[in-house]
Structure 1
Amino acid sequence: MPPLDPGPFFDVLAERGTPTLVRLGRALDIAPNGPTTYGIEGLAELVARAAGWLDALGVERGDRVAVVKPNHWDHVLLACAAARIGAVPALLSDRLPAETLQLLLKRLDAPALVTTADTLASADAAGTDLSAFTRRTLTLDGPARGAVPLEDVRGHRPPPPRRRPDGAPLAVMHTSGTTGLPKLVAHTSETLIHRIAAAEARRLPLVSPRGDDTVVQATSYAHGRALTWTVSVLWLAPREAVILDSYDPRRAEPVLRAHPPTVVEAAPAAFVRWQSLAASPDHPFRDVRLYVNTFDAVHPPTVRAFLGATRRRLPLWVQVWGQSETGPLTFRCLTRRSVRAVGRRHPTTRDLGRPVPGKTRLRVVDPQTLRPVGRGRPGLVLARTRTLCAGYIGETERLRAKVTDGWFATGDLGIRTRSGRLLLLDREVDTVRDGSCVEIEDVIHDRLPEVVEAVVLGRASGRPLPVLVTRDGTLDRAAWRRAMADLPPLAEPVLVPDGRLPLTATGKVRRQELRDRLLDGAEPYGTGHWT
């Protein structure tokens, strides 16, 4: 098993002579005057310096260190720095509402908070003092009331790396929070590194980075995927790793053109935002051999657009389904043929493929009795995996309530086909009667290209409500009726201006917040018991 411990990870890479160059879309928040290109030795030095800052701040072995800052890869570097001195990083997105951050920090009870003065000021303007739930606060971008500025801890000599038992807490990250308050998920070195990252760090045909690859990542770096991606991809030593902090195509395009990718992994929201780039005559995706999407299912037109954009003869799209609590559970390889539109109904990407071989087992059960249902029948999806998290911080009973005889309730509804594939229907709380919100949303995107985002909100009484964002803010109602003619009856769609949907850090819609805004407290059709 490769030595993947995140604390000394960059030191080990440097000792191996790993030649990868890391390119950044902008300078790091922990080195705002630093370069946008790093070699591995430079990153090892930066992580060691950051470990010295935390040590000077008084962080001790076993302490939790909350990191709340704008999205960038230094979320991961700070996590490595904390792990290097035996502390436990807890990564939080600054895009969470201030009151949510306050509650999560209270649950964490972290002795130290690493943040920015701007983040503190934004929360203060919303009536929340983020530093109230920690003993020491370090600001990266200048002084703030009650905080230690970075200048005061620079130059502190870091202690030597401290190892921890594999079963001890390694890192805490939060779930997306689409259905309510995010949960704080704790993972150990055993689950997050030795069982998830190490599996991906083994070189596999077609789907692993190669020495001549330029690998692009665009995600929320506060989530667990960022840490496992960093460890596994850099261990495989591609030629370049290009890291983007924003999904905005205007910011991504110059970087992608300067460093044309051969492998792209991104959140579905990033692919959606970049679809216009893929359609341009001189786009930067011409040499991509592999696309990977995580966090959520992606709509078929998006997959079709990017697979059609590359000049490679047989490009692949790998769709991975999993959760913060479990890591990857299923995967499916999509090709141009598998997403080709034939007739009126689309080839859905809610077919999530098969469980990860040798790692995961799935079961579909009746949500009321938890008894297995037959193949081809819908039910609650349970997973049995050795990568299950250690628990939820501040909610000690919650994980126990979601696990029965070793089977974890994902909260998703699905169908196992006769061949063993998983068809995703919905989150249980978001479902609709006799249908699937996810599939309806796929159909909307497939038949109405002017729709940028479609969200279908189910309710216990009344027709499901479609919420749409279109490219120009308008909708041809006659075209809408024609497109929806063979679907279950829907309410008249509500148009929302671009940029006004409530989104998570990964770009997913906060459905519960949207329900509260548009459905005036109407009860959902699902129970929400398994969220």
Structure 2
Amino acid sequence: MTALSLAMVLAEAARRHPDTVAVVDGDTRVTYAELWLEARWYAAGLVASGVRPGDTVALLVPNVVDFPRVYYGALAAGAVLVPVHLLLTADEAGYVLRDSGATVLVCHGSQLTVGAAAAARAGIPVLTVGPVPDGTGHRRLVDACGTLPPLPSYVTRSAEDTAVVFYTSGTTGTPKGALLTHLNLVMNTTVNVFDANDARRTDVVLGCLPLFHTFGQTVAMNGTFRVGATLVLLGRFTGPAALDVMLREGVDVFHGVPTMYLALLDAAAGRSALPRLRLCISGGASLPVAVRERFTAVFDTDVYEGYGLSETSPTATTNQPHFGTRAGTVGHPVWGVEVEIARADLDDRIELLPTGELGEIVIRGHNVFAGYHGRPEATAEAVVDGWFRSGDLGRKDADGFVTIVDRKKDVIIRGGFNVYPREVEEVLARHPAVAQVAVIGVPDARHGEEICAVVVVDPDDPAPPGEQELVDWSRGQLGRHKYPRRIRFVDALPLGPSHKVLKRELRRTVE
């Protein structure tokens, strides 16, 4: 067994840079030595609560210092982590807890309404962190730690053991748990900071991407800790708040999705002082070239756009200083990873295409996940001949730059979050007045894409719903990133010869 643990990212930073501030959270400043000590203390509390190596610990915590404390504490205890999306409903979060086999949920007090309900649905206990109202009946993790000594170090794990499970919806509408190993995540973290990007120990990084998300977790948090820099957390992102904290803390590195870049541009208007940003990285969705050009002009810096998926740890390609940048592309494959273009019409084998041809983006290397939790059939469909099939269509030019052209799957990317139409359609179809529904993504200047439900109303309904009624109803059934903001009523959905809804035709007519 090759011993390797993602926990060593923090352990080594504490050994090499003990007095460097690792995390800034408002007025709180925590050094690497302090953070690793606190993580090992949390680990002792988790062990005392019954967590054993290989057990699954779910984490429902916003961007506060307790996130890395619990994250590395669970890893130090030898557990598998399941970060829970903060925008899920109790039912959706409960599904993640049940499907993953989580044995305990560590929940921040601010998320306890959803977290406690989700844990009850899954039949597992809750340990709380952060400020918690009296009388909740849930045990605090610090009380579980009590007077216990911190674990002396992290529990030994194998490089191929699962470290983190990211839940990502599929075209079936049922979320799947992507199994990321310690090797996947240690390598992707290391390659991001030492090969793909010009990261430096003196960096001050804005941690505004959700830490439960693979981009914020691997690239921002773990990458910052790997190089021994400082992470400045921002719990709720707005353009003005981000600019204020960047100026106050001297932030010079920014990771964000395109909507965040737009928000920063909006907030910069009329300001005399702007942060001096040395390194900016964009991912999660395509960054419009016009936005990149505006950002470069206003902030006097370049933006390095990249591409990846939960299943690829996440980074697969990025524009890199070594190769130069090319607007409109997602750059080159990162070190140790191959990214090619394959025929999209072949499901049972990979047949690579010549330079410049359009096809499905396929990926292989140290970043490709170990499969979907409990879904061998889905894993076999996703990994063919050793290549991960991304479901995205693109080209690779003669200079090695990769361009995303379209998506083979119908995924909608709203503000950097993946939303799968089938999942939304299944919820809307339960509304008593909805006879048929198709959900599509439509262009949106702020979010990249907006969710639009095209609805055929039951002709026998005596009081058909209005647009706002369906939006409000959906809001109560779906996470905040999933419910449709736009409703279009039609007499019939366009159908093809096989009676499948022609979503391409819907997009043309709705736009």
State the TM-score, normalizing by the size of structure 2: 0.75
Match of 2:143 in 1: 152
**2:253 is equivalent to residue 267 of structure 1:** no
RMSD: 4.1
Equivalent residue for 2:163, pick from 170, 178, 182: 170
By how many angstroms is 1:258 displaced?
0.5
Match of 1:308 in 2: 297
**2:379 is equivalent to residue 399 of structure 1:** yes
Contact 1:364 1:414 in 2 (8 A): no
Match of 2:484 in 1: 514
Equivalent residue for 1:221, pick from 211, 228, 234: 211
What 5-or-longer segments of structure 1 have no aligned partner?
27-34, 340-346, 432-436, 442-454, 472-493, 527-531
Map 1:227-376 to 2 at 5 A: 227-229=217-219, 230-238=221-229, 240-285=230-275, 287-311=276-300, 315-326=301-312, 327-333=314-320, 349=328, 351-368=329-346, 371-376=351-356
Q: How many residues align?
A: 445
**2:118 is equivalent to residue 138 of structure 1:** no
Contact 1:66 1:114 in 2 (8 A): yes
Q: 1:59 to 1:415 in 2, by over 3 A?
A: same
**2:89 is equivalent to residue 97 of structure 1:** yes
**Whole-angstrom CA distance in 2 between matches of 1:393 and 1:233:** 28
**2:31 is equivalent to residue 39 of structure 1:** yes
**Whole-angstrom CA distance in 2 between matches of 1:465 and 1:391:** 28
Q: 1:299 to 1:97 in 2, by over 3 A?
A: farther
Contact 1:47 1:77 in 2 (8 A): yes
Contact 1:66 1:89 in 2 (8 A): yes
> Which secondary structure state, in structure 1, belongs to the residue aligned with residue 374 of structure 2?
coil
Query: Partner amino acid for 1:367?
Result: D
Deviations 1:39-82 (CA, angstroms, capped at 9, x unpaired): 21221222122212212222111110011233445333312101
Match of 2:184 in 1: 191
Query: Partner amino acid for 2:159?
Result: D
Q: 1:525 to 1:325 in 2, by over 3 A?
A: same
Query: Partner amino acid for 2:306?
Result: V
**Whole-angstrom CA distance in 2 between matches of 1:363 and 1:203:** 23
- Bigger drift between 147-156 and 106-115 goes to 147-156
Deviations 1:378-402 (CA, angstroms, capped at 9, x unpaired): 3222222232111222323211121
State the TM-score, normalizing by the size of structure 1: 0.72
Contact 2:25 2:65 in 1 (8 A): no
Equivalent residue for 2:391, pick from 376, 389, 411: 411
Match of 1:447 in 2: none
By how many angstroms is 1:213 displaced?
3.1
Q: 1:12 to 1:289 in 2, by over 3 A?
A: closer
Q: 1:379 to 1:525 in 2, by over 3 A?
A: farther
Deviations 1:74-94 (CA, angstroms, capped at 9, x unpaired): 333312101111111111122
By how many angstroms is 1:516 displaced?
9.2
**Whole-angstrom CA distance in 1 between matches of 2:325 and 2:74:** 44
Q: 1:129 to 1:145 in 2, by over 3 A?
A: farther
By how many angstroms is 1:113 displaced?
1.0
By how many angstroms is 1:220 displaced?
1.2
By how many angstroms is 1:183 displaced?
2.6
Deviations 1:397-436 (CA, angstroms, capped at 9, x unpaired): 21112121112110112233344432212222339xxxxx
By how many angstroms is 1:19 displaced?
4.6
Contact 1:247 1:273 in 2 (8 A): no
**Whole-angstrom CA distance in 2 between matches of 1:270 and 1:172:** 26
Q: 1:396 to 1:106 in 2, by over 3 A?
A: farther
**Whole-angstrom CA distance in 1 between matches of 2:171 and 2:282:** 18
Q: 1:170 to 1:399 in 2, by over 3 A?
A: same
Match of 1:6 in 2: 6
**Whole-angstrom CA distance in 2 between matches of 1:467 and 1:73:** 36
Deviations 1:14-49 (CA, angstroms, capped at 9, x unpaired): 3323453245354xxxxxxxx522221221222122
> Which secondary structure state, in structure 1, belongs to the residue aligned with residue 69 of structure 2?
helix
Match of 1:480 in 2: none
Contact 2:342 2:361 in 1 (8 A): yes
Q: 1:246 to 1:181 in 2, by over 3 A?
A: farther
Map 1:49-88 to 2 at 5 A: 49-72=41-64, 74-88=66-80
Match of 1:29 in 2: none
Match of 2:430 in 1: none
By how many angstroms is 1:324 displaced?
0.8
By how many angstroms is 1:365 displaced?
1.1
By how many angstroms is 1:300 displaced?
2.2
> Which secondary structure state, in structure 2, belongs to the residue aligned with residue 366 of structure 1?
coil
Contact 2:89 2:114 in 1 (8 A): no
Contact 1:76 1:222 in 2 (8 A): no
> Which secondary structure state, in structure 2, belongs to the residue aligned with residue 409 of structure 1?
strand
**Whole-angstrom CA distance in 1 between matches of 2:282 and 2:238:** 17
**Whole-angstrom CA distance in 1 between matches of 2:47 and 2:356:** 55
**Whole-angstrom CA distance in 2 between matches of 1:71 and 1:367:** 41
**Whole-angstrom CA distance in 1 between matches of 2:479 and 2:181:** 23
By how many angstroms is 1:108 displaced?
0.9
Contact 2:255 2:281 in 1 (8 A): yes
**Whole-angstrom CA distance in 2 between matches of 1:200 and 1:338:** 16
